[in-house]
Structure 1
Amino acid sequence: MSSRLVLVINCGSSSIKFAVREEDTSQPLLSGLAERLGTPQATLEWRLGDHKHEEPLGEADHTQAMARLLPLIGEHTSQPLAAVGHRVVHGGEHFTGARLIDDEVIAAIDASAPLAPLHNPANLTGIRAAMELLPDVQQVAIFDTAFHQSMPAHAYRYALPDDLYAVHGVRRYGFHGTSHQYVTNQASLLTGRQFGHGAWLSAHLGNGCSSCAVLDGKSLDTSMGLTPLEGLVMGTRSGDVDPNLHAHLARTLGWDLPRIEQLLNRESGLLGLSGLSNDMRQLEQAREDGHHGAHLAIEVFCYRLARSLAGLAVALPRLDGLIFTGGIGENSALVRALTLRHLAILGLHIDPDANSRLPRGQAGAVHRSGSPAILVIPTDEERQIADESLSLIDQLRNQS
């Protein structure tokens, strides 16, 4: 019997990232990106094995891009899709796990749009396009926030009047849930534990960054909050700042709210600190060349990460290890080394040789003997989405 196929879709405001995943396999059969949708420069790029392909899409919108994707998938697969798994950024408090998409789920995603105005509407666009073009295939929503719904109230509540939470949903939600869940599950296997078990700190580091405390497969606390702006220093996002910064900038510079939001989301982080770039690879090279801003940006990034990880450790009864993942976490030996320089208080000690020798993008252990595990684990959110989609379908079938 052949393995089932899942089409994984991550839909942005002008793009569709996609992959066809085969059950129980580590590599996608087919993957690609449709980008700049709605413009004359719209293109479709895809990879099949070692071969890359690209074609223009004219001014295709999401539905038209999907209409081109589906025949492409049919050309290169020998069986129908078992499911379409959609990444949805914000599920609010509505969802604690994967859900089969119906009118009720669509309405709840739409209701959460004010909490993720750049993400949820785009996610819904992809869902509606896929449902229109694949009406007979089961569609599943996987929520970035769902994994963190296991956080206790003392971790997710802000010290604000209760009505803001009870009526308006103002609380900490957390993001990157599929990544934190995937890498902590893999860490349990790499260290000889039962699948999903262990007490882990997880650092997902890319253009967006978050840290998380996970115990036996459950998120107990995380660095991101109501929105993906809270927490760590990121590529262009500030992370934590004084909450009164908005009022200070409005009073002293006359800035309005959109201008301040632009500053904190698009002009800050590594880019703002360095005055050079939000790309860690470029900053590391500039640091070697003596660029002061690059040096400062990397030092702040690593210190703030270490401070967050140390704070999250209080959520755990013990510490079995620390995981680095995401483009920076997987590839930057420098960031790992500088971050661990601040974490000796947790008993975490890096092996400099193992850290520097680990091939970029590969899984491995980089800790010294006697230290809790320090692991580098490439994330695979698409596989997590595919696995959760099939698991839900099997669960619903067994219930019927």
Structure 2
Amino acid sequence: MPDSSRVLVLNSGSSSLKFALLDPHSGEQYLSGIGEALGSSEPLLSWRSPGQKHSRQLDGGAAHAVVIELLVRELLEETSLAQGALIAVGHRVVHGGERFARSALIDQQVIDTIAECADLAPLHNPPGLLGIHAAINAFPELPQVAVFDTAFHQTLPRHAYLYALPYSLYRDQRIRRYGMHGSSHRFVSERAADLLGKPLQETNLISAHLGNGASLTAVKNGESVDTSMGLTPLEGLVMGTRCGDVDAGLLMHLGDALGFSLEKIGCLLNRESGLLGISELSNDCRELERAAAEGHDGARLALEIFCYRLAKYIAAYTVPLQRIDALVFTGGIGENSAFVRQAVLCQLQHLGYQLDNHRNQSTRFGAEGRISKDGTAAALVIPTNEEWIIARDAASLVERGD
């Protein structure tokens, strides 16, 4: 494979689309950007190429399809990004069910499986398929590779991934815990082991990926052994617009007592709950922190619930791990919110965490490092790099010819 090889990565999230063109070996980026606040009244597309920054305000309500169209058009018009060095397009796909324990070259069967799993990740797999189809149309000669968030969690033991439901539902319908954010948890686990000076296979971590979607993963000896998201990305932590854990009886109550349809319940739990639903203001943690500082009770309550649920989950994951080498914060909130990190660690002092305020305040905007005091339990901030994981897997598959 030539040293100049590049992989285009598309990473479609529930309200964002990240993209990058990078060297799969070094991680060097030639183009990177993000479409943010997609589906809102003020979506924004911004990107960087060598020596240049660009931004474009999109029409209100613009979502993933618009961003992908603009991205493909800009790439095709950018003469410095000639296709000669582009060896593959890598796609983040949230849900691959039990079918995929590793990344895969995309063919029609893979596309069909991603579509079949769309009801398990309704905010993610459909945008992911948009990216796949757009890239196939734009680069029909290039290999397309799907990198699945669920793949990293295929190492969960049965007692961690099975629900206490009739076993036939797993046997016949594969209803189980799958977990998400696998590429992120995998990257920060590898990086944390490097920072700790330990082999990954001997490293125990709790990885907290906190963004509009949020999940926690217990990593034992380099492998995922438990994770907070379940059959779908709805279970677990409080998120931007998703509720996380709720009493299953609530669903019956909403239907029987309030007359909510399944579609309405799904919309409420996935799009109208979480930080947005509690605060009645926003799903953006930055806006909520500003509002809370100004006395907005709903914003303050939403952040309090978010941090409490996170701290409770972290404490629970001491059970499968027993020994924890580090707690790692990553994702947009985990990397940048000193407020959230402080609120969480203050609730975990009984586990030995003592925050270093100066380190915590200075570790943001792409910085990595320890935020706990020396000699106390290690808490780290590590900016995630899902794009590099995706590019690496794509290049590896192309090189092997799988």
Q: Give the TM-score normalised by the residue count of structure 2.
A: 0.89
Q: Which residue of 1 aligns with 2:230?
A: 225
Tell me what 2:9 maps to: 8
Alignment of 1:332 onto 2:337: yes
Residue of structure 2 equivalent to 1:31: 32
Task: For 2:99, give the aligned amino acid.
Answer: H
User: Please, which runs of 5 or more residues in structure 1 have no aligned partner?
Assistant: none
| 1:288 aligned to which of 270, 293, 310 | 293
Q: Which residue of 1 aligns with 2:204?
A: 199
| Aligned-pair CA distance for 1:35 | 8.8
The corresponding residue for 1:378 is 383
**AA of the residue aligned to 2:266:** E
Match of 1:103 in 2: 108
The amino acid of 2:4's aligned partner reads S
Matching residue within 264, 271, 277 for 2:282: 277
Asked whether the 8 Å contact 1:329–1:335 carries over to 2, the reply is yes
Q: What is the Cα deviation at residue 273 of structure 1?
A: 1.7
1:102 Cα deviation from its structure 2 partner: 2.2
Task: Name the CA shift for 1:62/1:296 in 2 (closer, same or farther; >3 Å).
Answer: closer
- 2:146 alignment partner, one of 141, 155, 162: 141
Give the counterpart of 1:161 among 162, 166, 173.
166
CA distance in structure 2 between the aligned counterparts of 1:121 and 1:212, rounded to whole angstroms = 24
SS at match of 2:359: helix
In 1, Cα distance between the equivalents of 2:352 and 2:15? 45
Distance in 2, matches of 1:71 and 1:11, equals 20
Instruction: Give the counterpart of 2:246 among 241, 264, 269.
Output: 241
Give the aligned partner of residue 258 of structure 1: 263
Q: Distance in 1 between matches of 2:262 and 2:292?
A: 34
CA contact 1:201–1:321 (8 Å) conserved in 2: yes
How much is the aligned-residue C-alpha RMSD, in angstroms? 2.9
CA distance in structure 2 between the aligned counterparts of 1:290 and 1:62, rounded to whole angstroms:
36
Are positions 1:115 and 2:116 aligned together?
A: no
Aligned residue number for residue 214 of structure 2: 209
Report SS of the residue matched to 2:361: helix
1:216 deviation in Å? 2.7
Deviation at 1:34, TM superposition (A): 6.8
> Quick one: which amino acid aligns to residue 318 of structure 1?
R
Q: Where does residue 314 of structure 1 map in the other structure?
A: 319
Contact 2:7 2:90 in 1 (8 A): yes
Counterpart amino acid of residue 47 in structure 2: W
Measured against aligned partners, the alpha-carbon deviations of 1:241-264 in whole angstroms (never above 9, x if no partner) come to 111101112233222222222221
Contact 2:243 2:274 in 1 (8 A): yes
- Which residue of structure 2 aligns with residue 47 of structure 1? 48
Distance 1:37 1:276, change over 3 A: closer
1:62–1:126 Cα contact (<8 Å) kept: no
Is contact 2:208-2:216 (8 Å) kept?
Answer: yes
Letter in 2 for 1:30: L
Equivalent in the alignment of 2:81:
76
Contact 2:120 2:233 in 1 (8 A): no
For residues 109-133 of structure 1, the C-alpha deviation after alignment (integer angstroms, 9 at most, x for no partner) is 2322232234323323322332343
Q: Where do 5+ consecutive residues of structure 2 fail to align?
A: none
Q: Is the Cα contact below 8 Å between 1:207 and 1:235 reproduced in 2?
A: yes
Using the alignment, how far apart are the partners of 2:236 and 2:38 within structure 1?
31
1:369 to 355, 374, 380: 374
Deviation at 1:231, TM superposition (A): 0.4
Query: How big is the shift at 1:101?
Result: 1.6
User: Does 1:131 find its partner at 2:131?
Assistant: no
Bigger Cα displacement from structure 2, 2-11 vs 144-153? 2-11
CA 128–196 in structure 1, closer or farther in 2 if over 3 Å, else same:
farther
Name the counterpart of 2:346: 341
TM superposition shift of 1:359: 4.2
Once the two structures are aligned, what percentage of the paired residues are identical? 51
Which amino acid in the other structure matches residue 337 of structure 1?
Q
**Deviation readout 1:81-139 (Å, 9 max, x if unpaired):** 12111111110000011111223322322322232234323323322332343233222
Do the aligned partners of 2:181 and 2:215 also contact (CA within 8 Å) in 1? yes
236-245 vs 97-106, which deviates more?
A: 97-106
**Corresponding residue SS for 1:76:** coil
State the AA in 1 paired with 2:143: Q
How much has 1:374 moved relative to structure 2?
A: 0.5
Give the whole-Å Cα distance in 2 for the aligned partners of 1:106 and 1:391. Answer: 20
* TM-score, L = length of structure 1: 0.89
CA contact (8 A) 2:337 2:364 kept: no
SS at match of 2:208: strand
| Change over 3 Å in CA distance of 1:262–1:351 after alignment to 2 | same
Q: Which shows bigger deviation, 310-319 or 174-183? A: 310-319
Which segment drifts farther, 63-72 or 278-287? 63-72
Structure 1 residues 49 and 113: CA distance shift in structure 2, 3 A: same
Change (3 A) 1:250 1:105: closer
Q: Deviations over 1:15-74 (max 9, x none)?
A: 864210113334421124579999xx9997532134233579999878865652442355
* Conserved? CA contact 1:325–1:377, under 8 Å: yes
**Cα shift readout 1:154-207 (whole Å, capped 9, x = no counterpart):** 111111112211221211111111111111111111111225641000111111
Report the secondary structure of 2:80's partner residue. Answer: helix
Q: Which amino acid aligns with 2:195?
A: L
Q: Which 10-residue stretch deviates more, 323-332 or 41-50?
A: 41-50
